[in-house]
Structure 1
Amino acid sequence: MNTLAQLKAGQLAGITRLDLSCGLTEFPREIFELADSLEILNLSGNALRSLPDDLHRLAHLRVLFCSDNAFTELPECLGQCAKLSMIGFKANQISHVPAAALPPLLRWLILTDNCISQLPDALGERPLLQKLMLAGNQLAHLPESLAQCKNLELIRIASNRLTHLPQWLLALPSLTWLAYAGNPVEMAVDVAADDATPDIPWAQLELAEVLGEGASGVIRKAVWKPSAKAVAVKLYKGTITSDGSPLHEMQACIAAGLHPNLIKVEGRVVGHPDDQAALVMDLIAPSYRNLAGLPSLASCSRDVYHPATRFSAEVALRMARGIASVAAHLHRHGITHGDLYGHNILWNAAGDCLLGDFGAASFHATADTLETKALQRIEVRAFGVLLGELLERVDGELSEDKRQALEGLHERCCQPEVLARPGFSEIEATLQPL
């Protein structure tokens, strides 16, 4: 994090990224002295309500973060920034998004947790749009112009007021990761009863160190005292995340049931002193690690793998079969994961793998309708992307016949015609003999 004193003293000349979070109520004009080099500007966590009309003077600005401020309108000056492609205004008080505020090279737009009830048609006139984060607003419909966004791969519309999913949305050729939980359209679905999940009193848990923390909650190691069993406890936050509501995530975890490639839920915590929602889950062996890292600002919607990541053909195929199997299981239970990504998969050297993070999960009808098929085939594209990433990292022992079969499956999963993609039962059948 940089300081305002450094900026005013001219000590930041030549930097490409500036991070300022110091209670700002006005945009510091000294930022313009960095115009020759500044590419990423992060002003999140301040008290800003506006940006200067001449923001376009930052000629190299590509990324702008202004989350956790006091904006009520997306500033129109953004539209004049020629190179600006990523905009983040999460957790403000925005109710108005002017068409003029959308820059021509817009690729990634984050408007999570605001008060937006309507979006301009101009949003669909940004052909590079790839990632759109709109969870936690008041949207009852989406602009039909988004049907033109052939590159749109990820959209988060959870916790809004949508009563239906438009046909054009389900037919977008590149759509891969969709989250829509907490809308009337999803709440109308019959969700399987979760009464079989045991209640575990808070007093029976002895918490230990933090194992990890994400947008939806904190995971801590614990001892379940009656059996002295080591477990993991996930304590859910109550705030809206980029994916949606953490409480919806908890509901999906419970409804997913048992599968060898899921982390087992032991029970739901009751009696927390602050009424915080929590689940007790199996503790994962330390031999497991994340398959990939989160997407970067540059990769946008694609995971980042460590350059040294390589698999044997056997391990890669085992992981592909495991993920196809668990995805098929979820779909049979009327759940789309919504975030089927390498960074949400834990794996070990033997090729055992676990799919986690249900933050973007949504419920759908189990009946074999066109809408259900489309929702499931959108997720099939996510599997296709993952399969391609695995294939790129397989050592040279894969036979030519097997590689052709897998590359053919990858192409079928990623083809632009959504309903022409195979379902997961067909994918499992293709992978099994390999």
Structure 2
Amino acid sequence: MRVAMIGTGYVGLVSGACFSEFGHAVVCVDKNPARIEALEQGEIPIFEPGLEDLVTRNVKAGRLSFTQDITAAMAEADAVFIAVGTPSRRGDGEADLSYVYAAAEEIARAMTRPTLVVTKSTVPVGTGREVERIIRATRPDADFEVASNPEFLREGAAIEDFMRPDRVVCGAESERARELLRALYRPLYINETPILFTSLETAELIKYAANAFLATKITFINEIADLCERTNVNVQDVAKGIGLDGRIGGKFLHAGPGYGGSCFPKDTQALVATGRKHGAPLRIVETVVDINEVRKRRMADKILAALDGNAKGKTIAVLGLTFKPETDDMRDSPSLVIVPALQQAGATIRVYDPEGLHEARKLLGGMVECKDAYDTCNGADAAVIITEWNQFRALDLVRLKSLLRKPLLVDLRNIYKPHEMAAAGFTYHSVGRPPVAPKA
């Protein structure tokens, strides 16, 4: 099949490359000439494990190409996917759909054959109908249908998620649209992947509801972690105890500094705005959003408390800046709140992140960038783990202790075991677990 993918951001590039790996002919379209030129030269604008090899392989095979010309891309396309950004709108938190609607108009003008227009971007309920209205108003003569196919890609594991998904959700209301989507995802039938066909509106809401529920699980265990710290309980034991219940499950029950990234913050805000718009306020999700914002600042306070409330003139080593490992994405990362708060308290911040430094420079200032974890900790009064990159999971504790002025580690991801840190001579603070002091 032939596919046009409008947008070469995270979702568009990953989806386009994966569809081409399925054997489809995919043309990715973007208005940014610099981005298209870079992609044609094999330069990938985002860090995602395996993506560069996937793109290179399929470009070489002739199944994947890039262009600024939407008309050329759609000339023989059976399906055209809208995969543009839907950032939060300033002021009210609603999704900014201007890029989606602009893409719909361009698709309408470029359409020359029967086409299935599929919204891949995360959009509020009713967007598909508006896309249909825009295309119809622009091109009353066009032969087209509109479908919704939300993505469920985790940054750092997006290719695996696309190739081996838990499910594929398709909002498609005609047999022709359903058959085309079945053909696009036919390789997944081998793995018996569930493909759920729904209405347009249902598919749109599934995406938001899924992300809101996962964000709620994270926020729930973070609040339980606060209680654990005050009652001398280990939150990891609590999480395991409740996660073994099949009705609850253990995923997303990892206490930490709060969620961030490109999806959860904007999607929970957009869902809250949608609920208010339709007179069905989502009180739980509203609370989740509020708690998560407060939590990031509380993590800075936690670090300051570990320093006896005084960071002035001290040096803090920060390990990890991105919102999660295996990505260079800094959007809504807890570090964007924690680092400035520590700087305002008078601390000098030394930082290292395996992939995120180039993005962090655009958002954070006044940091001393270092070459690795040990360089970062050299001469620091304390070390703080914000992102759980694998290379931080097995640090040489003897070497680490020798580099720090004081053997103080604040672990916001609970990577290490408290008793082992105490045995290694560290004062160790984590999340939802009692702090420990060095063993005599």
Q: Same fold by TM (over 0.5)?
A: no
More helix per residue: 2
| Higher RCO (CA < 8 A, seq sep 6+) | 2
Q: Provide TM-score, normalisation by structure 1.
A: 0.29
Q: Provide TM-score, normalisation by structure 2.
A: 0.28
- Report the structure number with the largest CA radius of gyration: 2
